[in-house]
């Protein structure tokens, strides 16, 4: 079973998402963040469950879609470790800087 690790960036992204949604609804903010975290639990058993990034298909990065959000991650098979790299709204552009320091 793979270990799922959240990067500081992914945690910060999640906090930002929560804060933004909470301006209108604390309940919906909690619901959204819980679903984001819960959707990554399956990566423990199925670390290659997500699709490769359409913008960067020749990289080892994959994504899970949860509602309007993209959860970007990388699986290190040798260490059996999944690193959640970032979480962003689907309308935002994905930039190459997400690849910096993304696997522990």
pLDDT per residue as tens digits for the range 74-104: 999 999 999 999 999 988 878 777 776 554 4
Whole-prediction pTM? 0.89
Asked whether the beta carbons of 98 and 92 are under 8 A apart, the reply is: no
Q: Which one is predicted more confidently, 33 or 101?
A: 33
Nearest Cα neighbor of 11 from 85, 73, 94, 76 is: 85
Sign of CA pseudo-dihedral 2, 8, 9, 13:
positive
The Cα 66–Cα 89 span in angstroms is 10
Q: Are 20 and 97 in contact (CB under 8 A)?
A: no
- Is the domain spanning 3-76 CATH 3.40.50.620? The answer is no
- Position 25 pLDDT exceeds 90: yes
């Amino acid at each position: 079973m793979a270990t799922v690790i959240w990067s500081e960036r992914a945690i910060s992204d999640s906090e930002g998402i929560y804060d933004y949604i909470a301006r209108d609804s604390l309940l919906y903010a909690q619901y959204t963040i819980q679903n984001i975290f819960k959707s990554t639990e399956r990566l423990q058993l199925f670390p290659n469950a997500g699709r490769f990034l359409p913008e960067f298909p020749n990289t080892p990065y994959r994504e899970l879609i949860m509602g309007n959000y993209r959860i970007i991650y990388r699986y290190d098979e040798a260490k059996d470790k999944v690193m959640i790299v970032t979480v962003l709204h689907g309308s935002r552009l994905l930039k190459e800087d997400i690849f910096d320091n993304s696997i522990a």
